Amino acid sequence: MTRMPVLIDTIEKVKQFVQIVSGFPCEMDLSTGRYTIDAKSIMGIFSLDISAPLDLIIHDEKAVPSIREALDSFLIKEPDNA
């Protein structure tokens, strides 16, 4: 299981996000606080506070690199300390 922080803060981004993750056969969840929903559920995502970062939980380690690449624009990246 891998967790990565994502920001899906507009209706258009939610639609794009669901379209992308639905193309992968593995299970994925979105989590915030004590709430966890299916990442492929557009209605589930709208039940969360999308103005704040969410944790994407990927349940298939082999799929992580390709999912990370496909969702690059949604990922919250750590600032470089250079």
Instruction: Give the pLDDT confidence of 12-54 residue by residue, as tens digits.
Output: 999 999 999 999 999 999 999 899 999 999 999 999 999 999 9
pTM of the entire structure?
0.89
Confidence at residue 80, expressed as pLDDT on a 0 to 100 scale: 59
Give me 77's structure tokens.
């990246």
Q: Which residues contact 45 (CB under 8 A, 6 or more apart)?
A: 8, 14, 17, 18, 30, 37, 39
Structural domains present in the chain: 2-74 (3.30.1340.10)
Q: Residue 26: what are its φ and ψ, rounded to 5°?
A: -85, 165
Q: What angle do CA 75, 76, 77 make, to 5 degrees?
A: 105
- CA–CA distance, 14 with 56 (Å, rounded to integer): 13
Residue tagged 């390709």 (tokens): 66
